[in-house]
Amino acid sequence: MKTSAGPTADDRVLVYTRVVSLCIVPFLVAGFVILYLFPQHTARLWAWPLHPTMTAMVLASAYLGGAYFFVRAAVERRWHVLSPGFLSVTLFATLLGVATVLQWNKFTHDSPAFWIWSALYFTAPLLVLGAWLANRRYADPASGDLVAPAVRAAVTAIGVLALIQGAAMFISPSTFLDVWPWTLTPLSCRTLAAVCCLGGAGIGIWSDPRWSTLRRMLEVEILMVGSILLATLRAHDQLDSSKPLAWPLLVGFSLLFFASIIVWSRHSLHRRRTLDHPAPIA
C-alpha cells in the first residue's frame, strides 16, 4: 500500500505567503509616511494622538523596516530567509492588538485610522502566523554558508535581550515612565515594547545560522535602527539626557547600527570575493 509523500523540503515560498506580504506593505508604507514625515499631526491622522513625536517616529521606523522586509518576502525564493521575521512580526502584531484592547479608551474611536488599525492588528497575527505555519513544512535543513559561532551567539543574545526588554515594558509600563529619555504613556510604552520584540528575530539565527538568514535580518535592522537614530536628531529637544536609560539606549542603538553595517559589509565582501575567485578544483 502506497503512502502519500510529505511536503518536499525545497525551501519554497508559497503563493499565500507572497500575497499576505504584498497586502501588508501598503499599510506599513502609509504608517511610515504619516508617523515619520508628519508626526506632529497624529491627533488628526493616526489612531490615537502620539506625543511627543519621538514615539511616532520610532514606530514609523519599525514600519519602514517591515515594509522592506515584506517587499523582499514577496519576491524571495527561499523560505528560511523569511522564517524568523514572520515569527517576530506575529509577536509584534499580537502585542499591538492586545495593547489596543488594554488601552481601548485612549484611541480616537471615530477616526478611520482607528478602524484600520484595529482591523489590521486583530487579523494580521493570524494571517502572518498562518503563513509561517504553512511555509515551515517546506523548510530545508540549515547548511551552506554558516556564520561564525561568535556572531551566532552574539545575534542570539541580542535577540534574547530584546525580548526581555520588550516583555518588561509591555507587562509593567509604569516601571519605565520615569526612566525613559522621552515622555511615555502606558499605551506608547507598550507600543515601543512591541517594537523591541521585533529584535527577537535574532534568536532564529541559533537554529538556522546561515548567512542568508542573518543578512536579511541585518538589512531590516540597519534600516530600522538608522531611522531611529535619525529621529533622535530630529527630536533632540524632546530627549532628557538625565534619565537613567537615555545614554544606554543611545549608545546601544549606535553600537548595534554600526556593528550590523560592519558584519553585513564583511560577509558581503567575502562572499563577492569567493564568487569572483572560486577555489581551484584539486
Query: Is there a domain that residue 246 lies in?
Result: yes
By residue range, what is the domain housing residue 144? Answer: 15-275
For the chain, helix, strand, coil in percent to 5 are: 75, 0, 25
Query: Is there a domain that residue 228 lies in?
Result: yes
Give the burial class of 253: count Cβ atoms within 10 A of its Cβ; 0-12 exposed, 13-18 middle, 19 or more buried: middle
Residue, of 210 and 1, whose pLDDT is higher: 210
Query: Is there a domain that residue 2 lies in?
Result: no
Please report how the helices 186-197 and 149-171 are oriented relative to each other, as an axis angle in degrees rounded to 10.
160
72-110 pLDDT, tens digit each: 999 999 999 999 999 999 999 999 999 999 999 999 999
Amino acid in the structure at residue 258: F
What number of other Cβ atoms are within 10 A of residue 131's Cβ? 24
Those residues whose C-beta lies under 8 Å from the C-beta of residue 35, and which sit 6 or more positions away, are 42, 46, 50, 56, 57, 59, 60, 63
Query: Is there a domain that residue 282 lies in?
Result: no
Taking 80 as the threshold, does the pLDDT of residue 142 lie above it? no
pLDDT at residue 227 in the model: 98
The three state secondary structure string of 160-204 is HHHHHHHHHHHHCHHHCCCCCCCCCCHHHHHHHHHHHHHHHHHHH
Query: Is there a domain that residue 8 lies in?
Result: no
Query: Is there a domain that residue 265 lies in?
Result: yes
Q: What is the pTM of this model?
A: 0.92
Query: Is there a domain that residue 4 lies in?
Result: no
Query: Is there a domain that residue 9 lies in?
Result: no
User: Domain total for the chain?
Assistant: 1
